[in-house]
Amino acid sequence: MDNCIFCRIIKGEIPAAKVYEDDLVLAFLDIAPINYGHVLVIPKEHHESSSTIPEATAGRMFRIGSRIGIALKRKLDYDAFNLHLADGTAAGQVVMHAHLHVVPRGVEDGFHWNWRQLQYPDGKLAETAATLAERLAADIGQSGK
């Protein structure tokens, strides 16, 4: 996509502080990091949603993201890391090219996701699980392929 900032980074039209690149993915430092060392891992093909990324590419994104997280812990002295992927504007996606955030974390870094925790009403937990399992069985089959 001509107007996608991440596609332009892939093409070399916009500079980026690259930390990893192969035939499927590119990883570079986020220019507005949550913590220093915050990396974005993106597919080299343009996909707005994670749902359209080929399985091999999505797997590579998470594998590389995890390896980057380990490197952040070992080399930049962080305690942990988050892998975060927002799919759609309602989920907080700002750049409409799917991307995985690798956020290095320290025990006292002061950052909080602010998760809320709801409680399912009686019967709703099992009903929701059954509905999702039925949809997944129709979409991907029982074998998980």
Catalytic residues: 99
> DSSP states of 38-81 as a string?
-EEEEESS--SSGGGS-HHHHHHHHHHHHHHHHHHHHHS--SEE
Q: What are the distances in angstroms from CA 65 to CA 1, 19, 124, 138?
A: 24, 11, 34, 30
Query: Any residues with CB less than 8 A from the CB of 36 and at least 6 apart, and which?
Result: 76, 104
* Cα–Cα–Cα angle for 118, 89, 115, rounded to 5 degrees: 25
